[in-house]
Amino acid sequence: MVHKIVVHKLVYQYFFVYICTQIKEATMEKAFVYGMSVEGENFTDRVKETKRLKMDFENGINVILVSPRRIGKSSIVRKVMKEITHPKIKTVFMDIYDCKSEYDFYNRFASEVLKQTATKSEQVIENIKKFLVRLTPKIAFTPEPMSEYSFSLGITPQNYKPEEILQLPELIGKAQDVHIVVCIDEFQQVGEMPDSLTIQKRLRGVWQHQRNVSYCLFGSKKHLMTKLFQHRKMPFFQFGEMMYLDKIPTTDWVTFICSRFESQGKQISEDLAQRICETVEGNSSYVQQLAWNVLAETEKTTTEEDFNRGVDALLAQCSALFEEQVKGLTGYQMNFLRALNDGVTSDFGSKAILENYNLGSKSNVSRIKTALQDKEMIDFDNDKVYIEDPVFKIWFKRNVK
Ligand SMILES: Nc1ncnc2c1ncn2[C@@H]1O[C@H](COP(=O)(O)OP(=O)(O)OP(=O)(O)O)[C@@H](O)[C@H]1O
Ligand SMILES: [Mg+2]
């Protein structure tokens, strides 16, 4: 009997500790978040852009969102999607980073549109029967509470023409009497598919006539996105409003960083918060990553040493990736980066610079530039060239002779 009571007590105690841990984990807010889209307390500023994007969504305007890497495109789109409460507007989000071919894309497109415009799984099945009669999809019910089912539609060139799939949101929008905003992340993938130009023509050809659907297209590779949307001869030229997402202003970051430190019972001066931001040139993801490293070094109030250790930690976290990137470069490309590192930003074709940095010929310089831009290592601001990744820049200075 006594034995039984002790066992019961132990079970209760264990259960109590387990529940407390779960509650703590669920409520413990992260001070800084990076490497994923952010929301709530971890999302700052962007008031103007949020308002504008929301207005575009509500008014059925196509938008193309462009910015340098990891500035906050995915986060702002998800935020605006959550803010849309109008009963006649539905939003669909899809990430096509892993779609390698045209039909990969159509399968992702159709399944996300079906899932996210339905309120229940039965409605998905109903809509498949109604709009995609020739399919016999495989539906699997999953035990995870977040997605109760997954399915593969099996769309192929044999059973459906591209145009029929691309019309799906328009048909659903009409049937439900709603406007659908389709947001496609990593859209530059379309430009990488075999026979990409034909695919782009198809998409544009169908999408531009739709009444019940608008699109928000964005992606992480800025120069590929620019190629798709800003060249006159490309099918998506002037498809919608180009929106450039700028860096979050330093003053907003300072307020954000100081308050996040406070939420953890620590303190950082405005001056050091500003230096966090400046060190990584306001790159949103790196601001959060460096702030997190500095916070981890801080006992109570951040000192100069804590800040420096935070920067060292950030470099250590990135160094394996940078080493890998540098390993893949040719001697000429490295020389070009050395020139940038010394502060040269233009006139690479001049005799002095060609000789000084051993860059070969003038035409070699343009090949180097294209190759480094394709690798997303450099970018252009008017005629000036710069190293894209601010942390790579620091790492290069410290480690490469
Ligand atoms: N409004 C914001 N407030 C605070 N931090 C932000 C904000 N937007 C982005 N970040 C930070 O930047 C990181 C990257 O954000 P996000 O993934 O939205 O950028 P992205 O531009 O889509 O990146 P990629 O170019 O890789 O697709 C986030 O994990 C977060 O640390
Ligand atoms: Mg993104």
Domain extent listing, the chain = 47-244, 250-324, 328-399
What's the whole-number average pLDDT of the chain? Answer: 91
Which ligand approaches the C-alpha of residue 221 most closely?
A: 1
Among candidate residues 188, 201, 36, the one with its CA nearest the CA of residue 97: 188
Give residue 145's pLDDT band: very low, low, confident or very high (50, 70, 90).
low
For ligand 1, atom 29: residue with the closest CA: 34
Closest CA to 66 of 221, 287, 252: 221
Q: What was the pLDDT predicted at 25?
A: 44
Write down the pLDDT at residue 138: 78
Q: Which ligand is nearest to the CA of 252?
A: 1
Ligand lying nearest the CA atom of residue 46: 1
Are the beta carbons of 369 and 377 closer than 8 angstroms? no
| CATH hierarchy code of domain 47-244 | 3.40.50.300
Residue 137: the pLDDT is 77
Question: Tell me, what amino acid is at 86?
Answer: H
**261 CA to middle of ligand 2, Å?**
26
Q: Tell me which of 1.10.10.10, 3.30.160.40, 3.40.605.10, 2.40.420.20 is the CATH number of domain 328-399.
A: 1.10.10.10
* Alpha-carbon gap, residue 123 to 116, rounded angstroms: 10
Q: How far apart are the CA of 284 and the centre of ligand 1, in A?
A: 6
Spatial contact of 362 and 295, defined as CB atoms under 8 Å apart:
no
From 69, 284, 292, mutation site for ligand 1 pocket: most ligand atoms within 8 A of C-beta: 284
Name the CATH topology of 250-324. Answer: Helicase, Ruva Protein; domain 3 (1.10.8)
Q: Ligand 1 pocket test: pick from 30, 36, 38, 39 the residue with the most ligand atoms within 8 Å of its Cβ.
A: 38
User: Of the bound ligands, which one is closest to the alpha carbon of residue 77?
Assistant: 1
Task: Find the radius of gyration of the CA atoms of the chain.
Answer: 25
What number is the average pLDDT over the span 269-288? 98
| Single pTM value for the model | 0.89
* 1-26: pLDDT as tens digits: 445 554 455 455 555 445 444 444 44
Cβ burial 362-390 (10 Å sphere, 16+ → b, else e): eeebeebbebbbeebbbbeeeeebebbbb
User: What confidence tens digit (pLDDT) does each residue in 313-345 have?
Assistant: 999 999 999 999 999 999 999 999 999 999 999
Cα–Cα distances in angstroms (integers) from residue 178 to residues 58, 106, 172, 214, in the given order: 11, 22, 8, 11
Residues near ligand 1 (Cβ within 6 A): 33-38, 42-46, 67, 69-75, 220, 284-285, 288
Pick the residue whose CA is nearest to atom 31 on ligand 1.
34
Whether 251 shows a pLDDT value over 60: the answer reads yes
Say which range, 7-11, 69-73, 154-158, 372-376, has the weakest mean pLDDT: 7-11
The residue whose CA has the least distance to atom 26 of ligand 1 is 70
Atom of ligand 1 nearest to the CA of 186: 27
